[in-house]
A and B are shown apart, each in its own frame.
Chain A
Amino acid sequence: MSAPSYFQRLSRYYLLYTGGFIAFLVALAVLESEGMPRVWIGYLFMFATIVLYAAIGVLSRTSNVSEYYVAGRRVPALFNGMATAADWISAASFISLAGGLYLHGFDGLAYIMGWTGGYCLVALLIAPYLRRFAQYTIPDFLAARYGGGAGGRGAPVRMMAVGATIIVSFTYVVAQIYAVGLIASRFTGVDFSVGIFLGLASILVCSFLGGMRAITWTQVAQYIIILVAFLLPTMWLSVKHADNPLPQVAYGAVLPKLEQRENALRVDAREIEVRGIFRQRADGWSARLAALPASWEAGRDEVQRKLDAVRLRNASLLEIRGAERALIAYPKSAEEAARLWAQLRDANLARARPPQPHAAPFAAPDEATSDIKRNNFLALVFCLMLGTAALPHILMRSYTTPSVTDTRTSVFWTLFFILLIYLTIPALAVLVKFDIYTYLVGTEFSKLPTWISYWANVDKLNPLITVADINGDGIVQLAEIAIDGDVLVLATPEIGGLPYVISGLVAAGGLAAALSTADGLLLAISNALSHDIYYKVVDPAASTQKRVTISKLLLLGVAFIAAYAASQKPADILSLVGAAFSLAASTLFPALVLGVFWKRANHAGAIAGMVAGFSMCLYYMLHTHPILGGSAAGQWFDIAPISAGIFGVPAGIAVLVLVSLCTRPPDIRTRALVDHIRAPE
C-alpha cells in the first residue's frame, strides 16, 4: 500500500513548513527589536506569503483532467478537511465576525451556529452521495440525476445549476478580492487597486497552473497561517486577562467581569452625560425632520449665507473652501434631506443608548421586539446552514477524497478545523471588549494609545474608529468611542500591546483567508463554465487537453472580471454577500437532497422547484431589501431580507414535490442511478 506513505510524506512536508513559518516569525521578531522599520515588516509578510502560495502552485502544476478538476481523488481525509476549512474561512469569518460579536453580543452568534451546523447537512445529506457518484461538478450530479432535455442528458437542469453556481459564487468572490485589496493596501501602503492585482496574481499562478490539485495544497498551507494568526494574539490577551493560555476556556472567567464593567458604565454619571448630549443631537435632527421642507430651505440659505460672509470678509482660502464644501455636501432636495437627516438621527440615537449586556439573548425594550429578534436569529441560522449545504465550492470538495468513507471523515475534519477558529472568535470578542471597557475607557485624551490615531486615519471618509471628547472633560467615556467591526481583529495585536510583527502576521492571516476562499470560488465558477457548459453542452467531443486549456482560459477571464468588479468598491455587492446563502439554499438545496432521498423526484419537478425557490427568494429580497429598492414595510413575519431562504427553501421543496407527483415518474435508468449512489462501495 502506498497510501500511508503518501499521508506520512505529506505530514512531514507540512510539519517542516510549519516549523519554517515559525522560524520566519521569530526571525522577523528579532529584526523588529533590532529596529527594522514597520513598513518593511508589512512588505515582507505580504510578499513572502504570496510568493509561497505561487510556489506551491508552480510545484503542483498539471494538465491532467482528473488532477485539474478533483486533485486526482487522492487527498487524504485530514488534509482535505484542512483545505476545505481554509476554503470555508473567508475574509468575513476572519476579519468581520469577531467585530460583529463585539458590537452585537449574543445576537451575532447566529453566524457561529449557522456556519458550523451547516456541515451536519453536508455530511448527512449530500457529500457521501456526491463522492459515490464520482463525477466533477455539482451540475454534473443534478443533470445525471434528473435527466431531461435533448437525449435525456439533462441540459436544462445543468444550465440552471450553472446559473445558480455563478450568481452565488461571483458575489462571494468579489467580496474576497475586495478584502485582499483592503488588507494589502493597509499594510503595505500600496494603492487599493494595486493590492487587488497583487493578490490576483498569486491566486492566478496557483489555480491557473494546477487547478484543484494546486488549490488544495495551497489551502492547507494557508490554513496553518490562518490558525497561527488567529490564535496567537487571542492567547496573548487570554493570558493577560485570565492567566490562562486557552482563550476558548478562559473567557468564561472574563464574562462576569465584563458584566460588572457594563453595569458600572450603565450608571456612570459622565457616561450618562455623554449619552444625553447624543440624545439632544438626535432630538435636533428630529425637529428638523418634522419641520421639512421649510427646515431644508432655511438650512440651505444658512449655508449660502455663511459662504457669502467668508467671501465678503476676505477670509483665508481654507475657510472659503470649507464653506464651499459645506454647500456642496448640503442635501440637494427635501427628500434627500429627509433620508440623510433620518440617518443622522438614528446614528445619534444609537450612540445615546446605554451598553447592552454582552451575553443577554435578544435584548429589547419589550417582549414583542425581543420575539422578533429571536425569530430573525432562528431564520438566519437556518438560512446559513441550508446555504452552507448548497455552496458549490464547498460541495465540490467531496469529490477529491479517495473513497466515500474518507469523504465522511473529511467532513468531520473540516468542522474540527473550522471550530479551532470559530470557538476562538467569541473569546476574542469578549477579551477585546473587556480590554477596551477597562483600559481605554477612563484614559486621558492626552494619553491615547497610538493605535487609535493610526486606525482612525486609514480611511478618512468613513473612519474605522473615532474617539472624540464629546463632553469636554478630557477623559475617554465608552459612549465617546465609535468602532467599526472590521477593525477589531486587525487591531487586536496593537490593542493587546503586542509587537508589530504580530500585526503583520494577522494581516497575512486575513490575506490567506481571503485568498484561499477566492481560489475555491474561482475554480467553482470556471469549472461550471468549462466543464458543464463547454464540454457537456457545446462540444462533447473535445479532447481532454482542450478541456483543461479552455478551463484555464476561462479562469483567467473570470478572475479579471471579478477583480475589476472589486476595484469599483461596489458597496451594494458587498452588502449582498449574506444574501448569497439564501439564494444558494433556495435554488440548489431541495434538488440536491431530494435527488438522493426521494426516487420519485423527476426532471419537471427539479426544474420547477429550482425556479420556484430562486424566484421566491429573489422576490422577497427585491421586496424588502432597501438596496434593491424594497422597504422593510413589505416584510413577512418581520423577517429580514438576508433570511429570504426561510421562504425560498420550503417553496422550492413544495413545488418540486407537487410537480413531480403530477408528472411521469423517472425512468428505470434514473432509479438505478439513485440505487447506485445509495449503495456502499
Chain B
Amino acid sequence: MNDDDLARRALLAARALHWRRTRRLTAALLLLWLATTFGTVFFARALSGWSLFGWPLSFYLAAQGAALVYLAILLVYALAMNRIDRRFARQLAEQA
C-alpha cells in the first residue's frame, strides 16, 4: 500500500466520522424542534392554567417561547458544527 492510498483512507475515515457526528447532532436538534412544536400545541389547553410573568404558559410558549427555542437550536447548530468541522481538520492534520 503506498502513501497516497493511506492518505485517501484517512480522509475517508475522517469524513465518515464527521458525517456520523453531523447526523447525530442534526437528529438531536430535530427531536428538540419536534418536541417543542408538538408539545406546545398539543398540550396547550393543559398548560393554559399555569402562568409565567403574567402570561398564561401556553400563550407565552406559542407566542415567544417556541420561537426562542428555535433560535437557540440554530445557535447551537452553528456553534457545534463549527466544532465538528475543527475536529475534522485536526484529525486530518494529525494523520498527515
**Which residues of A does B touch, CB under 8 Å?**
106, 109, 112-113, 116-117, 119-121, 123-125, 128, 248, 252-253, 255-256, 359-362, 370, 374, 377-378, 381-382, 385, 405, 408-409, 411-412, 415-416, 419, 422-423, 426, 675, 678-681
Contact = CB atoms under 8 A, between A and B. Distances in A.
Contacts of A419: 67-68, 71
Contacts of A370: 45
Q: Which of B42, B78, B85 is most buried by chain A, counting CB atoms within 10 A of its CB? A: B78
Nearest to B56: A359
A120 B67 contact: no
Interface string B23-60: 00010011001001110111011001000111110111
A128 B30 contact: no
Given A256-B54, A378-B42, A117 B62 contact: no
A252 B53 contact: yes
B64 A248 contact: yes
Contacts of B22: 678
Contact of A423 (B41, B42, B67, B81): B67
Given A106-B44, A113-B40, A405-B82, A255 B54 contact: yes
A359 B29 contact: no
B23 to A, nearest CB: 8
Contacts of A113: 37, 40-41, 62, 66-67
A160 B30 CA distance: 28
Q: Which of A408, A422, A680, A681 is most buried by chain B, counting CB atoms within 10 A of its CB? A: A680
A321 B54 CA distance: 56
9 contacts: A116-B70, A120-B30, A124-B77, A125-B26, A361-B59, A405-B82, A422-B67, A678-B19, A680-B18
A378 B45 CA distance: 13
Nearest to A378: B41
Contacts of B7: none
Given A361-B48, A412-B77, 6 more contacts: A113-B62, A120-B29, A409-B78, A415-B70, A423-B63, A678-B15
Nearest to A118: B70
A401 to B, nearest CB: 12
Nearest to B63: A426
A642 B77 CA distance: 31
B13 interface: no
B45 A124 contact: no
Contacts of A385: 37
A374 B66 CA distance: 17
A112 B54 contact: no
Contact of B62 (A109, A121, A409): A109
Contacts of A679: 15, 18-19
Contacts of B15: 675, 678-680
B10 interface: no
Given A106-B62, A412-B74, A678-B22, A128 B81 contact: yes
Given A361-B59, A374-B45, A252 B85 contact: no
Q: Which of A360, A416, A681 is most buried by chain B, counting CB atoms within 10 A of its CB? A: A360
A362 B45 CA distance: 8
Nearest to B22: A678
Nearest to A678: B19
Contacts of B26: 124-125
Given A117-B66, A680-B88, A374 B77 contact: no
A447 to B, nearest CB: 32
Contacts of A362: 44-45
A496 to B, nearest CB: 21
A120 B73 contact: yes
Contact of A119 (B30, B63, B64, B74): B74
